[in-house]
Amino acid sequence: MQILVTSASGANGDGYGSLLSFSLDGTARGTFSADPRITDPRGLSVSANRRLLYVNSGSDRILALDAAGNVVRDTGEIPGLNAGGGNLAPDGTYLVGMRSARTIVAFDADLAGAPQNVLPAGVVPFPRGFASAEDGTLYLASGIGPGGEGENSIAVFDADGTPLASRFISDDALSPLDLAIAPNGNIIVSSEFPFRAPDAVTSIREYDRSSGNLVRVFAPPPGVGFHQPRGLRFGPDGHLYCVARDNVMAFDFGDGRFLDSVVHMPRLNGQAIVFFPLLAD
């Protein structure tokens, strides 16, 4: 098993603009795939059978890679896609956040055919991460965009895209950057509040799936660099991982303890994180 991280680049963060691989102990293994179609990558997701890795490329296309890093599926360029996060839905379709269109679209698992709108265009001012529960309920983080536009909330939709709640939570200390669903069904959100402020408070926040109430806050001890938190993922060990600027942080989800900075790489500028089998696994 390995940790894969997308690193943003250029005007989006002066990172590496690559899909990077790390051993579980944090040792850098290099670029997972050198395919030139992977540029300034963002969202990542792994198929249910663990054989395919879906990658949202800044070249306005979605790719699927095998364990050797070879591209085996490619949507081709889709002008204006501007893909952010990506997650596989319970029905196997691949959901992608479109930052410019302010919505979520779905691709068939084989990435053939045009994307289909899951939610209307402009459904939130700026999408900042989403996840689908087993019953199809879709939770969408609505955050602040690069130009300062947006809001700090979570919207909820049923499996048909019908709005259930425009503001699922009430938390004046939240500015969401990614969202995941925990094994207990609660909603986990990475946050930087106020967004891009020099003195922003960074944290990971857990909300009750029924009430939207804040349950607890995950944060490393003072002095541990935790800046620009983005992608969230639960590892095979059950721990909660968050990729951030220069680091990947690990927390014990059971008791909330900060465990370690399992990856440290200057200029990482991580956007998404997944765990993917090694070729020999």
Distances in Å between the Cα of 42 and the Cα atoms of 55, 201, 258 are 7, 23, 25
- 15 pLDDT band, cuts 50/70/90, is low
DSSP string, 11-25: GGTSS--EEEEE-TT
Distances in Å between the Cα of 133 and the Cα atoms of 66, 129, 184, 188 are 26, 14, 11, 12
Tens digits of per-residue pLDDT, 72-121?
Answer: 999 999 998 888 889 998 888 999 998 888 899 999 999 998 888 889 88
Quote the pLDDT of residue 281.
60
Quote the pLDDT of residue 144.
87
- 13 pLDDT band, cuts 50/70/90, is low
Paired with 53 in beta bridges are: 46, 65
**pLDDT, average across residues 113-138:** 89
CATH homologous superfamily, domain 2-276: YVTN repeat-like/Quinoprotein amine dehydrogenase (2.130.10.10)
Average pLDDT of the chain to the nearest whole number: 89
Quote the pLDDT of residue 270.
86
Residue type, 63: L
CA 109/CA 169 separation, integer angstroms? 32
Distances in Å between the Cα of 135 and the Cα atoms of 28, 88, 165, 166 are 37, 13, 16, 19
- 149 pLDDT band, cuts 50/70/90, is confident
CA 68/CA 168 separation, integer angstroms? 41
Nearest CA among 229, 134, 219 for reference residue 183: 134
Quote the pLDDT of residue 14.
60
**pLDDT, average across residues 123-133:** 89
CA 239/CA 132 separation, integer angstroms? 20
CA 50/CA 61 separation, integer angstroms? 21
Cα 155 to chain center, whole Å?
A: 16
Quote the pLDDT of residue 175.
93
Quote the pLDDT of residue 10.
60
pTM as predicted = 0.91
Distances in Å between the Cα of 205 and the Cα atoms of 23, 189, 192, 242 are 27, 5, 11, 12
Tens digits of per-residue pLDDT, 39-55?
Answer: 989 999 999 888 999 99
192: its two tokens:
């930087």
Tens digits of per-residue pLDDT, 209-233?
Answer: 989 999 999 999 988 888 889 999 9
Quote the pLDDT of residue 11.
52
- 206 pLDDT band, cuts 50/70/90, is very high
**pLDDT, average across residues 194-211:** 91
